[in-house]
Chains A and B, each alone.
Chain A
Amino acid sequence: MYVAVKGGETAIEHSLELLADRRRGDRDVPELSLRQIDEQLALAVDRVMTEGSCYDRELAALAIKQARGDLVEAIFLLRAYRTTLPRFGDTLPIDTARMVAERRISSTFKDVPGGQVLGPTFDYTHRLLDFALMANGEHPAAPTAPVDTTNDLPRVGDILEREGMLEPPPSAENDAPAQDITRTPLTLPASRPVRLQNLARGDEGFLLALAYSTQRGYGNNHPFVGEIRFGAVPVSFVPEELGFAIEIAEIDVTECDMVNQFAGSHDVPPQFTRGYGLAFGHAERKAMSMALVDRSLRAGELSENATAPAQDEEFVLAHSDSVEASGFVQHLKLPHYVDFQSELVVVRTLRAEVEARLQQAAE
């Protein structure tokens, strides 16, 4: 009789089995391998690694497979695994000037030292469905120019900075190690390292919409793409017992340095300001959105009027996380009948009182 109350245990078991069954789909279709997901759905893997804060292509691919392609769910899976991992220490900051860039563009200068390199981009594709892919067409390997791995690739921002036209990167208040937002609760106002961590883990759709809102007048900051670069950078770590840095990995990152309208005053000469975005793998939409939002969140620091949502630190940082947002929105599926019962009781009482009053007035 009490369908809503009874039988939870068996129902959950059956639901889990059914989910696993649906995930596999038609058994006549070959099962996806993690290698296939990694190689052929690489950008999905990149997003899951970025917002999952864990650089591991295989685990991200596993999460995508297990989540049936639901990327927010996959990010959640990866995060819940990451949180159990022991911490050995902090690596040295990566140096993106040492990047072996596969792509590098600037929209502020026609040409820059090191050149404009388009690399693999959707930008100039015509969005026509390619029916050859449907027919399972193999594609020959693309020719690539040799990459200069010996020289650093200077950053456009550094060149502008030397001239004093662009502010130096806003530094942390002191040299203390950055607070890890996965270990300590968010306190406000947040330091910039905390803000950038939050944005790096933030939901791409949320940041995209916020960044877009700044372009439509809700906190305009007149941005130009100083530079976007994508490629591999080495990761170095100083083990305590050695006392010097060793390279332990190479990771792909996308970096966006956004150059924004000058601030200036009677005493301070006008200068371009910057916003910064960084993501694992190839994720330009994410890195650009992050850079725009980072810059708009500097409104207070740069004495701008903070009136738009994208300039409101507490609003942005508290709502950027897809795992938090998805969980709390979807918790409404849980039973709420005790609270609803309380509401029923009071609404009935209030209605009865109003009806009694109306009847009395009519008599």
Chain B
Amino acid sequence: MPDGAYNYAYLDEQTKRMIRRAILKAVAVPGYQVPFGGREMPLPYGWGTGGIQVTAAIIGRDDTLKVIDQGADDTTNAVSIRRFFARVADVATTTRTEEATVIQTRHRVPETPLKEGQILVFQVPIPEPLRMLEPRETETRTLHALSEYGVMQVSLYESIARHGRIAKTYNYPVLVNGRYMMSPSPIPKFDNPKLDRNPALQLYGAGREKRIYAVPPYTPVKSLDFDDHPFEIERWTECCALCGSRESFLDEMIVDDEGKRLYVCSDTDYCQERQGAQAQGKEAP
């Protein structure tokens, strides 16, 4: 272990056990927010402490870790978290979605479909989907207990009344297994369909708010909508400037003073895989 002053993967074994118990409970009750004794981590709250604690509790020496932020492996915070685990858990890291056993993510779900056995760990800032409608935790816990989600339906309806469509773009609320309303964390709604019946295990960690929740493999996850206003995802008229993809989530960049725009895949691994395949003359994956 490279940093002998701390236990393997930073957290002590008792804490890891406590977190694993919370995870097991979360898996048993999909979408339910399990309170856990979140610890102070050596990274700031709001920067992924929940995800880091979940990853630290489940990671082992045989794992291969991938960390992304905004879909990219080389954004500063993803680099920082990957370095943290390389340092305290001596774990192999990768940027390839296919190779990873644990993928910690902020704000995206990888474009490459996940497989059984993989675990996707989300960093969650505000776990409570109803928080912006009802600031009190004492109230929202009751609403969940009673499955009383009318307030969210009304808020979506108000959006339609005002804008002619549901203008919510990220952190789009979902219903898990027909029971609990869940915040998918601030992923774009573009990624919501990937949560539904995904073969991988999804774990969500909120460090500051001290909550863990989960979506087990193949669990139905439904984005809220109305019969006459079905859920829909973002579309671009452009394609990726680097790999030509029309299927992936695109980031927009301003490339000169006149405001000229360029669009590239937000998922850097997906984009590079496609470019590599194209260079070899094969059909892009």
Contact = CB atoms under 8 A, between A and B. Distances in A.
B35 interface: yes
Interface string A320-363: 00011011111100111111011111100110010000000000
Interface stretch (A76-84, A93-101, A280-288): A76-84
Interface string B119-135: 00000010000000000
B32 interface: no
A84 B264 CA distance: 42
B208 interface: yes
A5 B72 contact: yes
Interface string B178-217: 0000000011111000000000000000001011000000
B250 interface: yes
B278 interface: no
Contact of A339 (B74, B165, B186): B186
Nearest to A76: B44
B169 interface: yes
Interface stretch (B77-85, B110-118, B150-158, B221-229): B77-85
Interface residues of A, number: 50
A338 B35 contact: no
Interface string A160-197: 00000000000000000000001111111100000000
Contacts of B44: 76, 323, 326-327, 330-331
Interface residues of B, number: 63
B280 interface: no
Nearest to B78: A8
B76 A341 contact: no
B189 A341 contact: no
A12 B37 contact: no
A336 B136 contact: no
A7 interface: yes
B188 A337 contact: no
A27 interface: no
Contacts of A183: 37
Contact of A342 (B74, B80, B125, B170): B170
Interface in B36-85: 36-42, 44-47, 49, 69-72, 74-80, 83
Contacts of B236: 345
A4 B262 CA distance: 14
B70 A338 contact: yes
Contacts of B80: 8, 12
Given A12-B76, A335-B75, A314 B138 contact: yes
Nearest to B10: A84
Interface string B95-123: 00000000000111000000000000000
Nearest to B69: A335
Interface of B: 6-7, 10, 12, 35-42, 44-47, 49, 69-72, 74-80, 83, 106-108, 125, 136-138, 163-165, 167, 169-171, 186-190, 208, 210-211, 234-236, 249-253, 255, 264, 266, 268
Interface of A: 1-2, 4-9, 11-12, 76, 79-80, 82-84, 86, 182-189, 314, 318, 323-324, 326-331, 334-339, 341-346, 349-350, 353
10 A-B pairs closest in CB distance = A327-B45, A331-B46, A327-B44, A342-B169, A328-B46, A185-B210, A8-B79, A185-B35, A342-B188, A83-B40
